[in-house]
Amino acid sequence: MTASRVMPRPAPARRPAHTHARACLLLACLLIGPAAAQSVTIYRCTDADGNTSVQNQPCAAGSREQVQQMQGVGSTPATQPPPARPGMFVTTSTEDDTAPPRILDSATLRRAPAAQSDSDAATPERPAPPPIFQCTTYDSDRYLAENDTPPPRCIALRTVGLDGNPATGAGQACEVKRDQCVRVPDEQACEAWSRLTREAESRWRFAHPDNVAMRREAYDRLAGIVAGSRCGD
């Protein structure tokens, strides 16, 4: 009978020491990774003298502050902007995440004019002045008038007696004369109204004290007509 031999089992292979160290290093990287991916807020401060500094804390009071979010490696852009300090306006753009935020200083901020409605934006056109007339008297004297039918004139006539003697004439007589008036062309109306107003002003300023109030009222009325029409532009 042949005796059987029992073969010894080979000893298990030992892992190299550096394999264990590599696993520990990988675990440490996984633990540190999320912390490194967090965003960092950078504050750019400019004091009243124009000196600029960069820091990771909010700027001192009275300084102009610019805020920028710095992202860690492998992180995603921050979705929430940093809280704005009183007196500062921080604007961010969703179109370009790489562009720095725009900072608006409240000290130099200009207010935009309020939107005007169509009715307010369009200035109404002033109306044309009323018609004005150039009149001529029976003796060829010319003047401006507001209507084409001025009162008639009664020109006194000499009377004589039955014997033809003027000294013995009885009663009074006059001949009615009417002035001839034509309308001033529209393109010359403003100049005519301005001249009529200047004449009224001259009569007011050189009027007798008893007539000053009446002359002033006449001038104010004519000046109001000019100012309320396109002649006053």
Instruction: Delimit the domains of the chain by residue range.
Output: 38-77+85-106, 133-232
Could you tell me how many helices (H) and strands (E) the chain has, helices first?
A: 4, 10
Three-class SS of residue 27? helix
Three-class SS of residue 229? coil
The larger pLDDT score, comparing residue 148 to residue 166, is at 148
For 4, the token pair is 């059987």
Average pLDDT over residues 161-177: 71
Sheet holding 40-46, edge to edge: 52-55, 40-46, 64-70
The distance in angstroms from the start CA to the end CA of the chain is 141
The pLDDT of residue 178 is 93
Mean pLDDT of the chain: 73
CA pseudo-torsion sign 155, 161, 163, 165: negative
Average pLDDT over residues 202-231: 95
The pLDDT of residue 218 is 96
Average pLDDT over residues 27-45: 60
Residue 47 and residue 45: Cα distance in Å, rounded? Answer: 6
Average pLDDT over residues 60-87: 63
Judge whether residue 201 has pLDDT over 80: yes
The pLDDT of residue 40 is 77
Judge whether residue 173 has pLDDT over 90: no
Residue 81 and residue 67: Cα distance in Å, rounded? Answer: 9
